[in-house]
Each structure stands twice: as structure tokens, then as C-alpha cells.
Amino acid sequence: MRSESAFSHVPVLLEECLTGLDLREGKTYVDCTLGGGGHSLEILRRTKTAKLIGVDKDEDALRAAGERLKEFSDRITLIRRDFKETEAILQEAGVCKVDGVLMDLGVSSFQLDCFERGFSYRAEEAPLDMRMDRRQALTAEIVVNTYDRQQLIRVLREYGEEKFAPRIADFILREREEKPIRTCGELVDLIYRAIPAPARRTGGHPAKRTFMALRIEVNGELANLKEAVRNWTMALNEGGRICVITFHSLEDRIVKHLFKELESDCVCPPGMPVCRCDKMQEIEILTKRPVEPGAEEKEQNPRAESAKLRIAKKVLPRKRGQKTE
């Protein structure tokens, strides 16, 4: 079992998130990706009567966060679920609506450091696991050893933006004809052989994109993100805020487009003389451009390098320009 200290981490864009959430006394906030609990700890420290719902599907994270936040036990509810399961989370917490939602996406530092979880390409002897929720059946080992060539190429291209996806897929298929690929080290060695030497010398670790793609596939991260953003937006009280921190372009693109869709008051095809979709504005985007960490934070916390924060505020569904009562 990992110790509580092993789960501690420096929360990314902390002040920007707390400002974006517009913290107020007596309100209810949700940390949908509790992880090390860094953001949640500060939400609780900076309020006296606000309540917090902490959500994570990693049982080790929940256990450690519970220990870290125990001084605020009368104001927190910890729930082990996927963050897209909004209705079930609200029912379990005994609330109907919330006033702020935070999503800090991607794999957390302690999961990367916990080599036996198989998230890291540096964990040579670790099994190819990568499950955030170890109750689920699908693992990276199953993906690598059972997906056909086109499925592997799709995963590597779509989720890892890996330009050598066909070569890596071909190397995987040849390798697994001889024996199953079981460990992170075996996969890393295969990727080194698949990627031409000149390409290996630029762009960081050669296995980085493949490991990210497998992790996203195993955990259904992008599909879950779309559902979660929609669900939690509906769960906000009027004036409530949703803050989403992304760490790569695929996540940020999804959040950007979803926010624009939710802010739009018409999605009819261009050229329609009269709106027939009855779509109404649901949020107001507060960050026209994503908020990024400053140079000092990036230097102090390398994990923050690619972070982007988008913030929106819930409005009552209405056509843009329509007056409220």
C-alpha cells in the first residue's frame, strides 16, 4: 500500500482554480479527480462552512486523501466512482445541485511513481496495467496483445498523435506472435526498435506517446470527459463554476468545443432562416483563452508545463439576449 505522503503532490494552477471557483461560504464543491487532494485541501482551508465532495475511482487515492483531509471530515464526502457518474455521485452525497466543479485531468504524479501500476515507461519490470480503477477488466496488456492492427493504429494515432503508429503496430503484431508482451520494459524496447533512430533523438522519450495513448484507451478518458463535462454542467446551480485543467491538446480541444456548444443558443445548420433547434445558452465562458501556468510555476512543478485551465459559469437556460425575471 502506498503511504499518504506518496500521494501528496503540488496542485497545478492552484490560485487560478480557487479564483475561478469563486469560493463562498455554505456552498458545495466537487473535486471530480481527487488524486492527491491538493486542490481540495485548499478549498477546505480557505472556507469555514463550504462542503466538499471528493471523487476518484482509484481506491488508494481515496484512502490517502481521506487521511490528508481528515481534519475537515465533518465537511467532506469521499466517493469512489467514475467522475462521469454525476447522478449517482449526487445521490450518494445527498445533494441535488452543487456550486463548483473542478476537474484536474490526466494521470497523477503518484500513479506514475507507483511503478507497479504500469503507467510509466520507466517502470521496466512493471506489468502493462494502466487501470485507474483496478476493478475493471481491460488493461494495457489486453489492448497490446488482442487488438488487431487497425485498432492499434487508431489508438496510437488518435490518442497519442503518434506518426509512427503503423510501424509500432507492426512490431507489436510480430512480437506477440512469438510471445505475449507482458511488461512496460518489453513494450518500451519494442517501440525503440520501431521508431527510426533520427526520430528517437527529438521530442522526448520515444515511448511517451504510445503510453499516453494506451492509458487513454484503457480508461476511456476522452469519452468519459465529454460525458462528465455535460453532466456536471447540468448539476450546477445558477452562477456555479466549472474549472477544467487539461494536459494535452486532445483534452483541451474537447473542453473548448463543449464549452462553445454549451454557450451557444443555436446549433441549426448555417443558412436556416429561423432557429428550429430550441437550443438555449447554458453557460458563460469566462476564459476566452485557456489560463496557463507562469514561468515560475513551470520551473517549480514540471507537471504544470502543458497545463491549461478553462472556466465557465452556469446560467439559466435561455436564448442569448432573453431577459430573466
What tens digit of pLDDT does each residue of 104-162 get?
996 766 677 777 889 899 888 999 999 999 999 999 999 999 999 999 999 999 999 99
31-71 pLDDT tens trace = 999 988 999 999 999 999 999 999 999 998 899 899 999 99
**Count of other CB atoms within 10 angstroms of residue 231:** 18
The pLDDT assigned to 110 comes to 66
**What average pLDDT does the segment 85-99 reach?**
98
Q: Going from the N-terminus, what domains does the chain have, and what CATH number goes with each? A: 5-108+223-318 (3.40.50.150), 111-219 (1.10.150.170)
Q: Where are the alpha helices (DSSP H) in 114-270?
A: 140-146, 149-160, 165-178, 184-194, 197-200, 208-219, 221-234, 249-263
Instruction: Work out the angle at residue 280's Cα, subtended by the Cα atoms of residues 277 and 284, and round it to the nearest 5 degrees.
Output: 145
Cα-to-chain-centroid distance, residue 229: 11
Nearest to 105 by CA among 324, 309, 277: 309
Q: Cα–Cα distance between 216 and 214 in angstroms, integer?
A: 5
pTM of the model: 0.88
What pLDDT does residue 322 have? Answer: 55
Q: What is the DSSP letter of 323?
A: P
Q: How many helices (H) and strands (E) does the chain have?
A: 14, 7
